[in-house]
Amino acid sequence: MLLRDGRIARIGVVDAAGAETLDVTDKLVLPGFVETHIHPDKAFIADRTDGLRAGGPTAQTLVADLKKRFTVDDVYARARRALELAVRHGCTTMRSHVEIDAFVEMRGVEALRRLQTDLAGMLDLELIAFAQEGIFNDSVTKDLLREGLRMGLKWLGGCPYMDTDPRGHIDWFFETAQEFGVPLDFHADSADDPAMLTCDYIAEQTIKRGMQGRVTLGHLCMLDVLEPAHRAQVVAKLKEAQIHVISLPATEMHMKGRTDTKRTWRGVARLGELRDAGLNVAISTNNIVNPFTPYGHPDLLRQLLVSAMSMHLGNLDQLAWLPELVTTNAARAIGIDGYGLAEGCRADLVVLDARDAAQAITEQSEKLYVIKRGRVVARNTRTSELLSA
Ligand SMILES: [Zn+2]
């Protein structure tokens, strides 16, 4: 493979005269990992508050309180640590949420925009103006979100279950997205009461407003509790709307099913079924060391293993295609065309110390090289010595 001018110039045996070379013989080369749903602005705050306890405050309440005291420098330092860890683990493109509300105002936006510039050589970072606290609970959030879009944030992100009028919430996001010409992302249907389902309404609005292919949905845990016939109807509607589905398995495994007294609900989206139905599906890290996921870690190879374990995707044929969920599918979800290992694609790559995907996922193999626009931006080694018995 020959890389030139930030692109894959040639696949196969090439004349490397005059070029810098990297020996990747018998190593697994994948497109660089793509995070599509991640919250670096509230990373690394698990030690500032209690974790989830039966009968105690929700993660939402715990973080909302902490957020009031976030400063720009505080967000910057924690987010930078998260982003650098993500790059070290193979991420070369990231679409990140950044919270905008009465508690944190624009401080997170300021910090993340600085990081867009400061880390530009190693990571393409796009931001979602995100309403984690809803939009009808105070008088300032809607205006602040619009301000974020005017500042150049590329996506608008809603959270319908945070408002008592979820459909009014969804309507406002579609209207505002159309006004600014930006695509939409929603945190949707993370609970387990089918009466609260919103993804069907989001799909209807997507079609009605001609936004097919420009809407991503994170979570969709609720699909798992719908009756099969109802679920099939909803999935068909999601497909018609060309919705991209992003599952966040580490968070679901920590948060969901805590009140079940008989069988603990896993709470993950049914990605295998959705993929079979023809939807574009991806997975992402979501939370990093906070009350939503105290063990959250921006390592998408780890998320592949969590997905294999939690979604019944661990057969060898499934392990072979799982990397699509953090590479080509994830890129497509955020509007990047022509992503992959073909000639002409951007030279964003990760080289794993494994012969194939099954080994990489099973052994959590080291990411030997992370390459951004043809340049090595992270190099990792792992040493191990088995002493004689
Ligand atoms: Zn999220």
Question: Ligand 1 mean position to 157 CA, how many Å?
Answer: 10
| CA distance linking residue 225 with residue 101, whole number of Å | 31
Question: Ligand 1 mean position to 381 CA, how many Å?
Answer: 31
Question: Ligand 1 mean position to 207 CA, how many Å?
Answer: 24
Average pLDDT, the chain: 96
| CA distance linking residue 63 with residue 76, whole number of Å | 17
Question: Ligand 1 mean position to 321 CA, how many Å?
Answer: 24
Give 13's pLDDT tier (boundaries 50, 70, 90).
Answer: confident
User: H helices within 58-187, ranges in order?
Assistant: 59-67, 72-88, 107-118, 141-150, 166-180
User: H helices within 140-289, ranges in order?
Assistant: 141-150, 166-180, 199-208, 228-240, 249-255, 271-276
Question: Ligand 1 mean position to 263 CA, how many Å?
Answer: 25
| pLDDT, tens digit, 9 for 90 and up, residues 131-159 | 999 999 999 999 999 999 999 999 999 99
Check pLDDT > 90 for residue 183. yes
Query: Which pTM was predicted?
Result: 0.97
Question: Ligand 1 mean position to 288 CA, how many Å?
Answer: 10
Question: Ligand 1 mean position to 38 CA, how many Å?
Answer: 6
Question: What average pLDDT score do residues 46-54 get?
Answer: 91
Question: Ligand 1 mean position to 219 CA, how many Å?
Answer: 8
Give residue 95's pLDDT: 98
Question: Ligand 1 mean position to 294 CA, how many Å?
Answer: 14
Question: Ligand 1 mean position to 16 CA, how many Å?
Answer: 44
Question: What average pLDDT score do residues 28-44 get?
Answer: 98
Question: Ligand 1 mean position to 305 CA, how many Å?
Answer: 19
Check pLDDT > 90 for residue 16. no
| pLDDT, tens digit, 9 for 90 and up, residues 283-311 | 999 999 999 999 999 999 999 999 999 99
Question: Ligand 1 mean position to 132 CA, how many Å?
Answer: 8
Question: Ligand 1 mean position to 306 CA, how many Å?
Answer: 17
Question: Ligand 1 mean position to 236 CA, how many Å?
Answer: 24
Give 43's pLDDT tier (boundaries 50, 70, 90).
Answer: very high
| CA distance linking residue 37 with residue 128, whole number of Å | 9
| pLDDT, tens digit, 9 for 90 and up, residues 63-103 | 999 999 999 999 999 999 999 999 999 999 999 999 999 99
Q: Please enumerate in sequence order all residues whose Cβ is within 8 A of that of 280, keeping only pairs 6 or more positions apart, or say none.
A: 242, 244, 245, 329, 332, 333
Question: Ligand 1 mean position to 15 CA, how many Å?
Answer: 45
The least confident of 112-116, 256-260, 332-336, 368-372 is 256-260
